[in-house]
Structure 1
Amino acid sequence: MLIGNVYRPMVLSCQRDEPLATVARRMAEKRVGALAVLDGDRVTGIITERDLVGALARSADPAGENAAAYASPHVRTAGLDEDSQEVARRMLDADIRHLPVDDHGRVVGMVSMRDLLALETWAS
């Protein structure tokens, strides 16, 4: 199945300079495990629950640190027309659980391992 049929078509995000505490609250309120990190309207990274845990483990002060300091700067994406099994393989190989979905260079949503697991479970 194509990613375009699986992904969540909304971009939940934060700005690079937002405090980690604000980022964590947004993730909890929206019940998501990752946010796209933006510089204006350009995606410059992704911040995940793992990144927040890492920040706390290094004794970071969530009120004094910003999203850019802990976000993964190497943003991989999935295209709308990519096969979901191939995307799942790439995510497993890279040990990542969330991928922004892009449509001709514009981020249009996010796909998670949970989304792909649900697809596999319900398709069986």
Structure 2
Amino acid sequence: MRIGNIYRPAIFGCRADERLPEVARRMADKEVGALAVVEDNRVVGVITERDLVRAMAERPDPETVRVAEYATTRVETAGLAEDSRDVADRMLRAGFRHMPVTDRGELIGMVSMRDLLAVETWTP
């Protein structure tokens, strides 16, 4: 199945200069496990729940910590026409649980391992 058929098109991103508590609240409000870090609608990183946990463990005052300090900047993206199995394979190899979806280089959504697993296990 193509990523264009399964990705989540709602775009919940953040900026690298935002503070972690703001981002954590946005993730909780939107019930998502990761946000793309964007600059001019281009993906420059990803911040995840795991990154937030690491920051909480390492920093006594996360109120002052910026997204850029904990976001993953080694980012891969998925395209709409890509096969879901190919994307799942790339995510497994890289150790990602979330991958931004782009069209012509611009962020349009996110796909998660949970989304890909649902496609593989769903039977009509």
TM-score by length of 1: 0.94
Secondary structure, aligned partner of 1:10: coil
State the Cα distance separating 1:106 from its structure 2 match.
1.4
Q: Is the 8 A contact 1:15 1:40 kept in 2?
A: no
Distance 1:13-1:83 versus aligned 2 partners, 3 A rule: same
Counterpart in 1 of 2:92?
A: 92
* Residues matched between the structures, number: 124
Amino acid at match of 1:62: P
Matches within 5 A, 1:32-71: 32-71=32-71
Distance 1:70 1:103 in 2: 26
Distance 2:106 2:43 in 1: 9
**1:83 pairs with 2:83:** yes
Secondary structure, aligned partner of 1:63: helix
Alignment RMSD (CA, Å): 1.3
Q: CA-to-partner distance for each residue in 1:25-84, whole Å, 9 max, x for gaps? A: 100010000001123433211100011111112125221101111100121101100100
Distance 2:104 2:123 in 1: 28
Distance 1:92-1:16 versus aligned 2 partners, 3 A rule: same
Residue ranges of structure 1 left out of the alignment (5+ in a row): none
